[in-house]
Amino acid sequence: MLLIRRLIGYARYGVSGPDGGLLDRENDVSQIDHECLLFGFVPISMGYYKPLVIEEGSTEPVYEYIFRNYATGRMSIADLRGVALVEELQEQKDRFSVVIYKDSDDAGASILAQTEEHLWVRKQRVVEHSPEALSTEFEIDMTLNDIRNDLIRISSIQRESSAHDHLEFIIIDRLPGLKHTIFEEVGLMLGELAGRSVHLERCGG
């Protein structure tokens, strides 16, 4: 029942722009993956890249982007599966960059784990119609702070319906340009962790 009340309280949100990188404003992602929900991981937001469609004859500056997909979600601090997921994600450094916060009413939010120091989500550069422009360096224009600020805003909306003491997961593809499969992979990880737990209990471990 707590999970149902939590999901009902989640609002649709996001920021979108003409560049194609975005939070999903049109779809509530809280129920995007049933495996995640089954094991207590509640999806909060996701970001992915949509190619920019340039109108013919447009004189606006054209940007080239490098974008790394991301997904965020929460688990109750009381859920031991959350601790196991933190450890599992930290071992997957070649696949994901992760930042995990421990957030409680008493102590506030603190970083529990972070696997990449200078974490970025999106880079951009202006593309002119000349060969010289291709040598322009990419500049970071979306970082961990942008995702975190969105989550803080959402948290203020969700406070009455969500677990107050929770682990907050920010999971980012290590490589840009991939298909967004983060929630599905988290669901599979949790399923495997649950299977290991059951096996250990049966073996008396």
Mean pLDDT in consecutive groups of 10 residues from the start of the chain, 205 residues? 36 35 50 80 85 63 85 91 94 95 81 92 77 69 88 65 77 94 94 68 51
pTM for this one? 0.75
Query: Rounded to an integer, what distance in angstroms lies between the CA atom of residue 79 and that of residue 156?
Result: 22
- The pLDDT, as a whole number, for residue 137 is 81
Query: Rounded to an integer, what distance in angstroms lies between the CA atom of residue 47 and that of residue 72?
Result: 9
- The pLDDT, as a whole number, for residue 101 is 94
Nearest 5°: the CA angle 43, 193, 77 is 55
Q: How many other CB atoms sit within 10 Å of the CB of residue 70?
A: 25
Query: Rounded to an integer, what distance in angstroms lies between the CA atom of residue 132 and that of residue 108?
Result: 49
